[in-house]
Amino acid sequence: MTEALLRASQALMNSYEQSGGINRRSGNNLPSKENVRQLVADLETLAFPGFRSEDGIDDSNAGFVIGEVVNRCGRTLTAEVARSLDFDYRQRGKSGCPAACHLEAQRIVEDFFAAVPAIRGTLMADVHAAWRGDPAAKSIEEVIVAYPGLEAITIHRFAHALWRLGVPLIPRMMAEQIHSRTGIDIHPGASIGPAFFIDHGTGVVIGETAVIGGNVKLYQGVTLGALSVNKDEGDVKRHPTIEDDVTIYSGATILGGCTVIGRGSVIGGNVWLTASLPAGSKAYLPQGGYILREPAASPTCSD
């Protein structure tokens, strides 16, 4: 190593000491980003076997392949959940976690896998909602292999299950990996009913305390957000409730924890809402996106 590189190395060590940002200083490491990426891939395989090239799955070996994926995924998840629980202990000033954290991680992973078949059932309802809701969809298989909205909701449903089991860090890591791949940002705390369809998807944001009913359809650029970003409101319901059978078109923004969009409502593109609407409502911007105050001049056209 040259003298200049030695100086750079020492400067980096000093920066870690002075400003933090290094994973392992004492105690266990945080969950591994690479291991969580593998976990996401394995969960996608369990959701839709045979749709990933690495599966090598057919009728003759399906039981063996799925068993191997479950075993690998279970080992990885147990280790990473134990790390996340240990981090949570340290954050709260507690000690003596390693053995207790591992036992707690095993229990959580067993409960998680017990829920996976039901999650798959909900995901198939999501697949059929996309197939019914998009005239461009030519087959169920196309929805599974090509739709970013399905990719996002698939990992969200697994991340949400871990969130409800009290797992720190990992659900957020899963959500952000899918966010980076799809442009769809769903906080793992959001509660989303079956037959959920995000069409196109880019720029959709769904906040932590959002509650979404069944058979809801969102288009690109929809935000279900909070009215403020006050740190003191972290444990308060800050995001809206969307009841069953609602359609929200592109660019619409719906804000606030007390905002409820009633069943069967339709929210038009670019609408901004901070108040509740009753069931069956239709909310649209004026035609053309503006209110015409005076008669418009007749357009003139030329070649």
Does a structural domain hold residue 18?
Answer: no
- Examine the pLDDT at 296 and tell me if it is beyond 60: no
Does a structural domain hold residue 136?
Answer: yes
At 211, give phi and psi (nearest 5°): -125, 120
Q: Mean pLDDT over residues 45-53, rounded?
A: 86
Rg over CA atoms, the chain: 23
Question: Does residue 68 share a domain with residue 174?
Answer: yes
Query: CA separation (Å) from 9 to 1, 5, 24?
Result: 10, 6, 17
SS3 state of residue 247:
strand
- Say if residues 125 and 195 touch (Cβ distance below 8 Å): yes
The token duo for 69 is 């994926």
- Say if residues 47 and 54 touch (Cβ distance below 8 Å): no
Question: Does residue 208 share a domain with residue 158?
Answer: no
| Count of CB atoms situated within 10 Å of the CB of 76 | 18
- Say if residues 160 and 210 touch (Cβ distance below 8 Å): no
Does a structural domain hold residue 14?
Answer: no
High-pLDDT (> 90) share of the chain, %: 73
Range of the domain at 250: 203-285
CA angle 101, 208, 133 (to 5 degrees): 120
At 83, give phi and psi (nearest 5°): -65, -40
Confidence of residue 14 (pLDDT cuts 50, 70, 90): confident
Question: Does residue 215 share a domain with residue 135?
Answer: no
Question: Does residue 179 share a domain with residue 122?
Answer: yes
Does a structural domain hold residue 195?
Answer: no
Range in 60-74, 158-172, 261-275, 288-302 with the lowest mean pLDDT: 288-302
Local structure of residue 27 (DSSP, 8 states): S
Question: Does residue 207 share a domain with residue 176?
Answer: no
Question: Does residue 262 share a domain with residue 121?
Answer: no
Local structure of residue 175 (DSSP, 8 states): H
The token duo for 70 is 């479950």
Question: Does residue 264 share a domain with residue 153?
Answer: no
Task: Give the Cα separation of 121 and 154 in Å (integer).
Answer: 11
Does a structural domain hold residue 43?
Answer: yes
pLDDT in tens, 220-269: 999 999 998 777 777 899 999 999 999 999 999 999 999 999 999 999 99
- Say if residues 258 and 273 touch (Cβ distance below 8 Å): no
Confidence of residue 18 (pLDDT cuts 50, 70, 90): confident
Task: Give the Cα separation of 70 and 111 in Å (integer).
Answer: 13
pLDDT in tens, 94-127: 766 778 889 999 999 999 999 999 999 999 999 9
Domain count, the chain: 2
Average pLDDT, the chain: 89
Q: Mean pLDDT over residues 29-55, rounded?
A: 88
Question: Does residue 179 share a domain with residue 49?
Answer: yes
The token duo for 101 is 């954290």
Q: Which of 230, 220, 222 shows the shortest CA–CA distance to 190?
A: 222
pLDDT of amino acid 47: 95
Helix 98-133 × helix 148-164 angle, to 10°:
150
Question: Does residue 228 share a domain with residue 150?
Answer: no
Question: Does residue 210 share a domain with residue 180?
Answer: no
Does a structural domain hold residue 38?
Answer: yes
Question: Does residue 119 share a domain with residue 32?
Answer: yes
Task: Give the Cα separation of 8 and 26 in Å (integer).
Answer: 24
pLDDT in tens, 182-223: 999 999 999 999 999 999 999 999 999 999 999 999 999 999
Task: Give the Cα separation of 108 and 79 in Å (integer).
Answer: 11
